[in-house]
Structure 1
């Protein structure tokens, strides 16, 4: 059988079932296992996203989708040359990987028509179903069943250990930083199995843009920064976006040093075999006293917070205008100025920069 995979998660499934020698073509994102990088590449990105900021990526992707354009380019000539019997693709997300829309023209050129296996999972159970379907389509049903059973056992071990945990901490899995996106699909299940609670996440459906005030209202005790499609190195490059958020230094996760960047590309974003590893990683980050991490060292990093500008800030409400603002401990007017007269700021506890300037001018004006 000649298999073409347009989906990194599907490529991982192919190798997990011992079908690597039958894989004849992949996408540019198929980088695991290492052998996948030796296969002919049929798909390239249509946008140079690596040169963009997070905000620029969000805008460019939204604009491309809104205009009906594709984020990927399929090499139709190479696809015809490879003559696949089976194509693995998805219709879950136009952003994450090649979708059915990208294949419409290419499929018309193929003779004979290959079998298409659609992988559109929204949950851990559906990811396992996709592995089972791949096994059935390739004559590897027994291998698929054995593989799934082993993965399920690992998840059950985590769930059993976490079952009697007295405290399930508030967790926020941030899928994008500018703008802020919550986690979706299978990730909320992973958090739950690992002994945490993420009420900002959307179980079984798309991740969405949320307001930063939503995060402040659900002050996470643990924050997992897992930007979609980014490995650990790229995630760490975006930490400044976190520290720039209003009230960042007041979050319990920041104050206790429990902010982590992770390799989302490997363990969270791809609906493939390694979501089980991702669940084990979450269990370690949420409950390190119960769970060890025996995976790669580059799976996560603790983000330093004690010396950051944000960690020295606290959020206050201006007693004059009522607006929320960041007040640097040891550097706001309440430390650097003597008490202002009642005429300047009745009952003031702390003033925002704008009201502070007005108050200082008022004091100066009253001096003889």
Structure 2
């Protein structure tokens, strides 16, 4: 039967539970939740990412709170001290997202539905990878998660870039789970790695292509020279849940496929 009154401290458990048809279990959500849109209309917002309204959460009488990452450890500790059962996942990879969906489904007693949903997502990813395998040329891709300081993309983002046919130009950084370990001390590193495409998702802040292109020396980067500067909204790619494996990777694949077509056309002239 599983927990019946769940507070979702981040967006991904909300999206998963709605996808599984188990949204009636949710009694509170994160204020940053945008997927699915219905959740914002139906559910009270009781937390941010690093803070939460503990009294409001307790008033909802939850039998479980679900969050993500060590960044929410203080919220988790406060709820545990009040007797609330808490599950904090800490996955950082595409395989981890799929496993998370399966574990969450099992936790609420709908393992078979969760397995079917995860299997479908995996098949979609395999189809994108098969399409990417046909690309005549793979672009070098730089993904920027924040601009000041410059932070490169996290592991699941880098994996989705590679799956969609791109070559992540900072593979040594993507394995670092904490953002502070993905800070570029020298922005000139991006220049030297010469990405063909730059994708950015400034964690909720609007991406400014003009500001990025104006960085000293960045006009020499092929992506800047060719206008290959693309924003992917953070709810689509920076949440380690279904959004990244659907709309997020689809947008990445569209960008890479379009670049490949242009590169092929230019090479045939």
TM-score by shorter chain over 0.5: yes
Q: Measure, in 2, the Cα distance between the counterparts of 1:79 and 1:287.
A: 45
Corresponding residue number in structure 2 for 1:77:
55
Question: How much has 1:182 moved relative to structure 2?
Answer: 0.9
Q: Secondary structure at the match of 1:279?
A: helix
* 1:275 maps to which of 219, 240, 244: 244
Change (3 A) 1:178 1:37: same
Mapped pair 1:41 → 2:45 = yes
> Normalization by structure 2: what TM-score?
0.87
Q: Secondary structure at the match of 2:199?
A: strand
Corresponding residue number in structure 2 for 1:308:
none
Corresponding residue number in structure 1 for 2:34:
31
Question: How much has 1:290 moved relative to structure 2?
Answer: 7.5
Question: How much has 1:267 moved relative to structure 2?
Answer: 1.7
Change (3 A) 1:18 1:122: same
Question: How much has 1:147 moved relative to structure 2?
Answer: 0.6
Q: Measure, in 2, the Cα distance between the counterparts of 1:285 and 1:28.
A: 30
Q: Measure, in 1, the Cα distance between the counterparts of 2:216 and 2:57.
A: 49
* 2:98 maps to which of 111, 117, 128: 128
Q: Measure, in 2, the Cα distance between the counterparts of 1:3 and 1:76.
A: 14
| Preserved contact between residue 122 and residue 205 of structure 1 (Cα < 8 Å) | no
Question: How much has 1:288 moved relative to structure 2?
Answer: 2.0
| Preserved contact between residue 232 and residue 251 of structure 2 (Cα < 8 Å) | no
| Preserved contact between residue 136 and residue 260 of structure 2 (Cα < 8 Å) | no
Mapped pair 1:217 → 2:186 = no
Larger Rg: 1
Give CA deviations for 1:295-322 in whole Å, capped at 9, x if unaligned: xxxxxxxxxxxxxxxxxxxxxxxxxxxx
Q: Which runs of 5+ in 2 are unaligned?
A: 262-269
Corresponding residue number in structure 1 for 2:138:
168
Corresponding residue number in structure 2 for 1:88:
66
Aligned residues: 251
Corresponding residue number in structure 1 for 2:20:
17
Question: How much has 1:44 moved relative to structure 2?
Answer: 4.2
Question: How much has 1:118 moved relative to structure 2?
Answer: 2.1
Q: Secondary structure at the match of 1:217?
A: helix
Give CA deviations for 1:213-262 in whole Å, capped at 9, x if unaligned: 100110111111221234xxx22xx3343133112222111222211122
RMSD: 1.9
Corresponding residue number in structure 2 for 1:255:
225
Corresponding residue number in structure 2 for 1:155:
125
Give CA deviations for 1:174-230 in whole Å, capped at 9, x if unaligned: 111222111122111001011110121433333411121100110111111221234
Q: Measure, in 2, the Cα distance between the counterparts of 1:79 and 1:109.
A: 11
Q: Measure, in 2, the Cα distance between the counterparts of 1:75 and 1:289.
A: 45
Question: How much has 1:132 moved relative to structure 2?
Answer: 0.6
Matched ranges for 1:238-249 at <5 A = 238-249=208-219
Q: Which runs of 5+ in 1 are unaligned?
A: 46-70, 292-368
Moved beyond 6 Å, runs of 4+: none
Q: Secondary structure at the match of 1:26?
A: strand
Change (3 A) 1:240 1:166: closer
Q: Measure, in 2, the Cα distance between the counterparts of 1:84 and 1:266.
A: 25
> Normalization by structure 1: what TM-score?
0.64
